[in-house]
A and B are shown apart, each in its own frame.
Chain A
Amino acid sequence: MSTLVTLPVLLPMLGAGLTVITSRSATLQRLIGIAVLIAVAVLAAVLLVAADRTGPIVAEMGGWAAPVGIALVADRLAALLLLVSTLVTLAVLVYSIDQRVADYGRETPSTTFHPMYLLLCTGVSLAYLTGDLFTLFVAFEIMLSASYVLITRRTSASRIRSGMTYVTVSLTSSLLFLTMVALVYAATGTVNLADLAAQVGELPDGLRTVLALLVVVVFGIKAAVVPLHFWLPDSYPNAPSPVTALFAGLLTKVGLYALLRTQTLVFPQDGSKTLLLWLAVATMVVGALGALAQNDLNRLLSFLLVSHIGYMLFGIAVFDVAGIAGTVLYIVHHITVQATLFLVSGLITRRTGTVSIDRMGGLAKTAPALAVLFAVPALTLAGIPPTSGFVAKLALLQAGAGSGVATAAVAGVVVASSLLTLYAMARVWVRVFWGTPQPPLSDPDPTDELVVGTGSTPRPMVAAAGSLAAVSVAIAVAAGPLSAVTGRAAEDLLDRGPYRTAVLGEEAR
């Protein structure tokens, strides 16, 4: 069983190598990419069932037992997020293949896209599964290096500018991460997360708070928590829509996962939860208000992404079983719905030839399928019952209301910022789908893949985006069993016992 834990990391990496070798055959590259991601999705499902039945599954690299060696750990949280992330990467890969076939024809191999895409999946899998702080750093670097290439592919002047911001900010946060690893190692003499759980508890209060704050800053930059969010709305909208969908779905959530993991496992006892509560409020409000000011559809969605990071942060700040369970459920829901919205936005800009919502109009008449496809994730994001957004938000609100006056007040902010999300979505709906139909504009720059503007809506792309929307509907349908799993995952996270026993053996108790 423990071999299975390594495969979600090894398979995409192997696939990335194979797609470099097969860079002459587009069909082979696509088949490898899809086959690898399907295999990882199946593996993640198997791991989730196994971890849910028997507890965390651990693989020790090179036969070195933790805390000396590197351990990969698949517990309920890691396996669940791995499964959802892989489903999203699969759908986005199919979408981008369809887009490429529609624009450039069937026989157009790409030397960079497929290898980098699979490498990014490697980094994401490793970040979820690692039980080691330094390996987490390496996982982030694998993931971010691949994302640097994806965001600056087919460089135009605007993409150079946004890519520069993105790369510089990410590198800075990585170097702060490295600093944090060095300080943690100097203080405790270990980088194994399960071992750190015990060691950090024995440190003096001041030192522990400094380390905890550094962790919040490092993962706060990666997760785009206000006031460290400024790079996100600058950079994401300048990438091609499948890449933006992938980044919006996964990268910030991986940062949030790292924050959740370290807050629960390593720093459960310190006072940074009040800080997290304030950051959650700022993130929700600034993100939602920023979205209302935007005219560019992708920038609007990017600000909404920032706003919804605040919800997940709120669940961590509540820090009881209900709050953590709500956060996990929200992450699962948000990965799918945010990626769907960016894919649909790609279809809309393709149809209209612009990203400015003022220049669109009447799409409900000219492209009714697109209207339905936009309405489902938009309502889900706003949290209208009976969608998955409502289920996840309800879990967070219940957690907030049940744990004191301060969190109940912040739960009010959650409701208010949901209404702002709904308002932003209604504004998009009125401008884009109602009104008089506008003729499609011509593509301003045909080489950049940013606004493709062909006036067409290829069916395979609609199907790929639709399948992702179906996943988010399925989350709402399966909300009962899913929230049971997230509840058990949250209990594990706060208990810390099962994770530590699985990694370190019985003597950790």
Chain B
Amino acid sequence: MITINLSMALVVGALYAVGFYLLLQRSLMRVLLGIVVIGHGANLLLQLAGGPPGRAPIVGDAPPEAMTDPLPQALALTAIVITFALTTFLLALGYRSWVLLGHDEVQDDIEDRRVARRQRPAGAMEEESDAEPEQRAGADQ
């Protein structure tokens, strides 16, 4: 079992805390930064999971017990590529949101609010046609 030192544990914890705080924001840019920061935290944790640093893991270059564990580094590399690609996708989505809506704020679900506001179970759809004027204005642009 591998244990990490306190400073590294604090760094990972702080990265997660900052990331999750940013995730809770309305602006998609902040959400995106939150994802990036949590991603860094997870990759750092993956690195630390490999144990203390050592020599390069090449056969004949160093005795096996002095080598660093290469597997978590390979895993972290894969994870970095995946987070990178998906960050780009989120950026494209944010840009599309800006083009279509003029902002990149995450909106409430219209149907959710409609269900929450409904008094009677039946026949309430008709008088809802004027609901969400700002949503409709946004959608028409």
Contacts and interface: CB of A to CB of B under 8 A. Distances in A.
Interface of A: 134, 137-138, 141, 145, 148-149, 152, 155-158, 160-165, 167-168, 171-172, 174-175, 178-179, 181-183, 185-189, 191, 203, 234, 237, 293-296, 299, 356, 358-359
B1 interface: yes
Interface string B22-56: 01000010010001001101110110111000000
Nearest to B101: A157
A182 B101 contact: no
B1 A187 contact: yes
B72 A182 contact: yes
Identify whether the interface residues of A are mostly helix, strand, loop, or mixed.
Answer: helix
A187 B114 CA distance: 48
A175 B125 contact: no
A160 B45 CA distance: 32
Given A158-B110, A183-B49, A356 B125 contact: yes
A157 B79 CA distance: 31
Given A145-B85, A185-B71, A294-B115, A178 B109 contact: no
B100 A358 contact: no
B45 A138 contact: no
Contact of A134 (B75, B109, B115): B75
Given A160-B93, A160-B97, A161-B106, A168 B35 contact: yes
Interface of B: 1-4, 23, 28, 31, 35, 38-39, 41-43, 45-46, 48-50, 71-72, 75, 78-79, 82-83, 85-86, 89-90, 93, 96-97, 100-101, 106-107, 109-112, 114-115, 118, 121-125, 138-139
B78 A182 contact: no
Contacts of A171: 35, 86, 90
Given A234-B112, A358-B123, A186 B1 contact: yes
A155 B99 CA distance: 11
B72 A168 contact: no
A156 B71 CA distance: 42
Contacts of A295: 111, 114-115, 124-125
A109 B31 CA distance: 35
Nearest to B2: A186
Most B C-beta atoms less than 10 A away, residue of A161, A237, A356: A161
Most A C-beta atoms less than 10 A away, residue of B90, B101, B118: B90
Nearest 8 A-B pairs (CB), nearest first?
A: A186-B49, A178-B42, A182-B46, A182-B45, A157-B139, A186-B2, A182-B49, A185-B49
Contacts of A156: 100, 139
Contacts of B46: 178, 181-182, 185
B35 A172 contact: yes
A423 to B, nearest CB: 12
A161 B135 CA distance: 11
